[in-house]
Amino acid sequence: MKSLDDYKKELEKLYAASQAEDIAASDKKYETEKKLTTDQYNRQINETENSYEDLYRENAVQKLINEREVAENMANLGLTDSGLNRTQQTAVQLSYANNKNKIDTTRQKAVDQLTYSLADAISKLDTAKTEAAAGIKSNYASAVASGAQEMYNNAVEQERKYREAQLQAQLEAQKQALEYQAQQKANNYILQTSGGLLRRDFQGSLKDNNVDVIYNTDGTTTYID
């Protein structure tokens, strides 16, 4: 009779293809979600980066305006080539650079936040994908275990019934043999039944045929076979 492990191996082999298909389908679903999520966040990142272009243009325009105002003021004062003019122009350049740095920093923070959110979303999807695959394997393992146990129990029950039938057949055969032997032995008796007559065809003496003769006081005779 097969062992429990034998039935488990049979079912594992039987379920292997369908388990692989279920895991592949689950993995594909999560990979699709990952792609959609990545595309969505990449669009947001691009939109965020582009949304700061207006601020960059405004800052550049403001720099030109400030430079012209300084140039006009210095020209009106006759200080075009003076140190004051150069100082004012440097201040305009520093203001432009500071504003640009602020815009860069703000934009980078927004992009970094989206990038972090994307990485977190992908990590969660990867975890869910792994857990889903593990869940599928666990379900199949449970099905294999319960199925194998049921098959093994059925086999044990069938084996028990088979052996029980064999034993019953042996007992019946023994019973019939004993009955046959008893019948054969009974056929050898001179007295076939209790209170019956002596057989006329017996050979030898009564004593040779294991028959005891008792002479009763009332004149009758009793024969015990």
CA distances from 55 to 51, 58, 60, 194 (A): 8, 5, 9, 131
pLDDT digits over 25-84, tens only? 999 999 999 999 999 999 999 999 999 998 989 988 888 887 778 667 666 766 566 665
CB atoms within 10 A of CB 125: 19
Cα–Cα nearest to 3, from 172, 153, 115: 153
- Look up the pTM and report it: 0.63
Tokens in use for 180?
């046959």
For the segment 166-211, what is each residue's pLDDT rounded down to a tens digit? 999 999 999 888 887 766 665 666 666 666 666 666 666 666 667 7
Task: Give Rg (Cα) of the chain.
Answer: 55
Distance in angstroms (rounded) separating the CA atoms of residues 147 and 23? 21
Chain segment 81-127, per-residue pLDDT in tens: 666 556 767 787 888 899 999 999 999 999 999 999 999 999 999 99
Q: How many CB atoms lie within 10 A of CB 202?
A: 16
Q: What is the DSSP string of 90-118?
A: HHHHHHHHHHHHHHHHHHHHHHHHHHHHH
97 phi, psi to nearest 5 deg = -65, -40
Q: Which residues contact 100 (CB under 8 A, 6 or more apart)?
A: 56, 59
For residue 215, what are the β-bridge partners? 221
Residues in the chain: 225
